[in-house]
Amino acid sequence: MKVLVIGSGAREHALCRALSLDPDVTALHCAPGNAGIAEVAELHTVDALDGVAVAELAASLEAELVVVGPEAPLVAGVADVVRARGIPVFGPSAEAAQLEGSKAFAKDVMAAAGVPTARAYVCTDEAEIDEALDAFGAPYVVKDDGLAAGKGVVVTSDIATAREHALACGRVVIEEYLDGPEVSLFAVTDGETVVPLQPAQDFKRAYDGDEGPNTGGMGAYSPLPWADPKLVDEVLATVLQPTVDELRRRETPFSGLLYAGLAITSRGVRVIEFNARFGDPETQVVLARLKTPLAGVLLAAATGRLDSLAPLRWSDGAAVTVVVASHNYPGTPRTGDPITGLGEVAEQDAPKAYVLHAGTKRDVASGDVVSAGGRVLSVTATGSDLVKARERAYRAVARIGLDGSHHRSDIAAKAAEEAGPGTASA
Ligand code: AMP
Ligand code: GLY
């Protein structure tokens, strides 16, 4: 199978890595990609938001499957254009991607499908904003309606900060505060059959101890030893399947990856948000544990054949990923800094620890790999349990040099401590 992946982050590197290990994949292409992806796939230049250009590229490469990684091309309708060319594509239509593209749309679908989520008001003017903030009280949860790369949400107990963000948003969703740990659960769907993956936890805040601003995600781990073993089945029955059924009923079926961001509250599971694509950095740990070759799974979703897919196989072990971010991320990041230590990780830690690239590129003049974005690397490791996977991930992080960079030192720390070391050796 010839596969083309669209995107350039660590999520796409994780997808490309998994696809490169799949014996059914005979050619792997990525556009635009990054310096790390270049090691496992052939890179091409494309405007990822231009559906016609992506479809042209896919046709010229004779791609038999196109996998669209990020949300922006999906919301822009890139999957629709590729599908219209008769090429199987993993990723929802623009209409179905509104589940991520508009928080108000997602709330409407959830209400119709009876999916449990935070009570919310959609506000467009100051009077509505004040009324909603007053109705819920602190802590305030204020969300820009549109796409904002994980940075459009403000959770604060300060009414002035909440108001200021709400007024800056235009259309804004103000909702009830949800307490309790967060879980990211992904499902692959063809619009009808829904196949959940393993749950993961993301660390959204920039600094240790969940301090600092929200980011796109600073690290992740899987499995979740503290979660109820019935969680996946419950979320499938109460969240994922009803949502997919509702979108099919609206004649805008959702095929691709449905990402449920959940809060496990004292009153039960609630949806915090939906995304229309694989999460970043959770994909790095979920795919590290998937034993079933990936291409066939994605192709089955793209071609409406998930009902005949054999059950997915998973490693019993754990995976941890730690994001190394640029100086000043999540503010405007500094770029162009050389990255060192990548060779040492490849020589000394692989295959159990490896570096997935996010914002990187190869400097043409020096040949060095340099930073090119906010989240630069996703250092990923596996092990028989979280303690081992963590140790390996942080050992690899310590080998990396990137001037001014920062990373969290507490990814999976609490879960690893609570679960204790396992007995298996890895
Ligand atoms: P979102 O972009 O909707 O995922 O929100 C980003 C982050 O804000 C989430 O991962 C949560 O940590 C936090 N958040 C969003 N909605 C709520 C809520 N209703 N209650 C508490 N925290 C929330
Ligand atoms: N890790 C959060 C996201 O992908 O939206």
For the segment 206-257, what is each residue's pLDDT rounded down to a tens digit? 999 999 988 989 999 999 999 999 999 999 999 999 999 999 999 999 999 9
Give, in order, the Cα–Cα distances in Å from 184 to each of 149, 272, 283, 304.
Answer: 16, 10, 10, 24
Q: Among residues 73, 79, 69, 30, which one has the least CA distance to residue 49?
A: 73
Q: Is 267 helix (H, G, I), strand (E, B) or coil?
A: coil
pLDDT at 149: 58
- We report the CATH number of the domain holding residue 411 as 3.90.600.10
Which residue is closest in CA terms to ligand 2's atom 4? 279
Question: What is the chain's mean pLDDT, rounded?
Answer: 95
Q: Say yes or no: CB of residue 275 within 6 Å of ligand 2.
A: yes
Domain housing 205 = 180-308
Q: Let me know if residue 116 belongs to a domain.
A: no
Burial category of 20 from C-beta neighbours within 10 Å (exposed 0-12, middle 13-18, buried 19 and up): middle
For 233, residues 6+ apart whose C-beta sits below 8 A from its C-beta are: none
User: Does 394 have pLDDT greater than 80?
Assistant: yes
Question: pLDDT tens for residues 113-126?
Answer: 999 999 999 999 99
**Cα of 180 to ligand 1 centre, how many Å?**
11
Cβ(370) – ligand 1 distance below 6 Å:
no
Q: In the structure encoding, which two tokens stand for residue 415, read together? A: 């879960």
Name the domain count of the chain. Answer: 4
Residue 227: CB atoms within 10 A of its CB come to 16
Over the stretch 321-355, which tens digit does the pLDDT of each residue have? 999 999 999 999 999 999 999 999 999 999 999 99
For the beta carbon of residue 125, count every other beta carbon within 10 angstroms.
Answer: 10
pTM: 0.94
Tokens found for residue 261: 């961001």
Assess if residue 329 is contained within a domain: yes
Would you say residue 425 has pLDDT above 50?
A: no
Residue 288 forms part of a structural domain: yes
Ligand 2 mean position, distance from CA 144 (Å): 16
CA 54 – CA 5 distance, rounded (Å): 10
144-190: pLDDT as tens digits: 887 765 558 899 999 999 999 999 988 899 999 999 999 999 999 99
Ligand 1, atom nearest to 143 Cα? 3
Please report the pLDDT score of residue 147 as a whole number: 72
Q: How far is the CA of 121 from the centre of ligand 1 (A)?
A: 15
Whether residue 423 is predicted with pLDDT greater than 70 in this model: the reply is no
Helix (H/G/I), strand (E/B), else coil: 167: helix
User: Alpha-carbon dihedral of residues 416, 238, 254, 25, nearest 10 degrees?
Assistant: 40
Average pLDDT over residues 187-214: 96
User: Which atom of ligand 2 lies nearest, measured to the CA of 278?
Assistant: 4
Asked whether residue 134 falls in the same domain as residue 37, the answer is no
**262: Cβ below 6 Å to ligand 1?**
no
Q: Are residues 165 and 249 in the same domain?
A: no
- 150 in contact with ligand 2, CB cutoff 6 A: yes
pLDDT tens digit string along 96-106? 999 999 988 99
The CA 342 to ligand 1 mean position distance, Å, reads: 34
Among 117, 133, 151, 155, which is best to mutate for testing ligand 1, by the most ligand atoms less than 8 A from CB?
A: 155
What is the distance in A from the centroid of ligand 1 to the CA of 361? Answer: 31
Gap between the Cα atoms of 311 and 214, Å rounded: 35
Answer whether residue 285 is part of any domain. Answer: yes
Last residue of a domain, one of 90, 107, 134: 90
pLDDT tens readout for residues 285-308: 999 999 999 999 999 999 999 999
Query: Among residues 61, 31, 51, which one has the least CA distance to residue 93?
Result: 51
